[in-house]
């Protein structure tokens, strides 16, 4: 839903909920700025009827009555639109409290804080520890990339976007035209899943590799958004999470903690190097390139060749 339409629907809902008597379309038009800018009466009438239907579809009970002047009036009585009492058990309250606290960025923190206050007022227990027995481990979802906010809004509003993206084996970024589906955080990094129009296929993009601004484009999506978007599964395959083979690498002693965490064996070689055996799957070469001179692939030969090819491509750029 576009932001302008969402604001217009919110203003209409507030007018209908805040009035003590039915309001005519004329009065509603004079009260809501977007309706004043609608132009002709026909344009306003079509917009108003669509908005009224949308609010009803969202669950708002709107009554239609005849007022004293013979005009049709509209109102939404508060007692007809009041939610039932919210009852939460300890686990549900903890889950909602955790969801509200996990966002730390300014744009989302205000909404989350307000939602948490409303939950408290509605019965969220004050003494519920949203982190259970591990209260000292307070989770965070870091969002340092400038691309996060515009992509989040584009996913919500179903708007195509354009951005410059630098692949792991490329020195220069290339332009991507994407229909964004979902954002997901995996092991401290944010990823976008969507439909790459130029390649005609589903793709996953790491936000830290997006350069420059994310630019919105007009028009609709050209392919349906799938019910399930497997962001983590795709990224896991890049990192060898679904591997059925092993690779041997040399790694500097003070580097590559993520590789060490995945290693099945680690052997000290001396001279500042260790030898690791790690799972080997699709996309491991792209991941190893990110560690630059701190990693040397020993075997298998095809993995070593793939890593060398990627490094040469970066060097040529």
What was the pLDDT predicted at 125?
A: 52
Give the total residue count for the chain: 317
Q: Is the pLDDT of residue 195 over 90?
A: yes
What was the pLDDT predicted at 165?
A: 92
| Whole-angstrom distance, CA of residue 186 vs CA of residue 233 | 10
Mean pLDDT of the chain: 79
pLDDT bracket for residue 117 (50, 70, 90): low
Bridge partners for 211 per DSSP: 164
Sheet with 174-186, edge to edge strand ranges: 201-206, 189-196, 174-186, 161-165, 210-216
| Weakest mean pLDDT among 84-88, 180-184, 194-198, 309-313 | 84-88
Name the more confident of 223 and 170.
223
Contacts of 153 (CB under 8 A, 6+ apart): 3, 159
Q: Is the pLDDT of residue 291 over 80?
A: yes
Q: Tens of pLDDT along 217-255?
A: 988 899 998 887 777 776 666 555 556 688 999 999 988
pTM for this structure?
A: 0.46
Provide, rounded to the nearest whole percent, the portion of the chain with pLDDT above 70. Answer: 73
CATH class of 148-235: mainly beta
Q: Which CATH architecture group holds 3-80?
A: Orthogonal Bundle (1.10)
What was the pLDDT predicted at 106?
A: 42
DSSP secondary structure letter of residue 293: G
Q: Is the pLDDT of residue 161 over 90?
A: yes
**Structural domain boundaries of the chain?**
3-80, 90-134, 148-235, 239-316
What was the pLDDT predicted at 3?
A: 56
Q: What are phi and psi of 214, to 5 degrees?
A: -90, 125
What was the pLDDT predicted at 189?
A: 75
What was the pLDDT predicted at 137?
A: 42
Closest CA to 142 of 187, 98, 83: 187
Q: Is the pLDDT of residue 126 over 60?
A: no
Q: Is the pLDDT of residue 169 over 50?
A: yes
| Whole-angstrom distance, CA of residue 110 vs CA of residue 139 | 18
Name the more confident of 136 and 68.
68
């Amino acid at each position: 839903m576009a932001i302008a339409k969402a604001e217009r629907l919110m203003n209409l809902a507030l007018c209908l909920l805040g009035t003590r008597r039915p309001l005519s379309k004329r009065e509603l038009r004079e009260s809501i700025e977007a309706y004043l800018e609608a132009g002709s009466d026909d344009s306003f009438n079509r917009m108003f009827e669509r908005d009224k239907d949308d609010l009803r579809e969202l669950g708002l009970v709107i009554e239609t009555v005849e007022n004293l002047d013979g005009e049709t009036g509209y109102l939404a009585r508060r007692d007809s639109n009041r939610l039932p009492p919210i009852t939460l058990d300890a686990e549900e309250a903890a889950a909602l409290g955790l969801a509200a606290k996990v966002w730390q960025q300014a744009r989302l923190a205000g909404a989350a804080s307000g939602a948490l206050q409303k939950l408290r007022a509605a019965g969220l227990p004050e003494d519920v520890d949203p982190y259970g027995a591990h209260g000292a481990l307070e989770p965070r979802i870091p969002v340092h990339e400038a691309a996060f906010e515009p992509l989040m809004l584009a996913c919500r509003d179903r708007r195509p976007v354009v951005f410059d993206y630098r692949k792991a084996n490329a020195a220069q970024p290339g332009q991507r035209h994407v229909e964004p589906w979902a954002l997901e955080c995996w092991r401290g990094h944010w990823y976008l899943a969507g439909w790459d129009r130029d390649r005609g296929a589903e793709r996953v993009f790491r936000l830290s590799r997006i350069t420059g601004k994310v630019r919105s484009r007009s028009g609709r999506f050209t392919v349906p958004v799938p019910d399930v978007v497997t962001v983590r599964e795709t990224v896991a395959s890049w990192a060898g999470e679904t591997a059925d083979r092993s690779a041997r690498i040399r790694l500097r002693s003070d580097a590559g903690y993520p590789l060490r965490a995945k290693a099945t064996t680690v052997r000290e070689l001396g001279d500042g190097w260790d030898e690791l055996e790690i799972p080997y799957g699709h996309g491991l070469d792209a991941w190893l390139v990110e560690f630059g001179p701190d990693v040397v692939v020993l075997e298998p030969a095809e993995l070593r060749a793939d890593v060398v090819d990627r490094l040469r491509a970066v060097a040529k750029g």
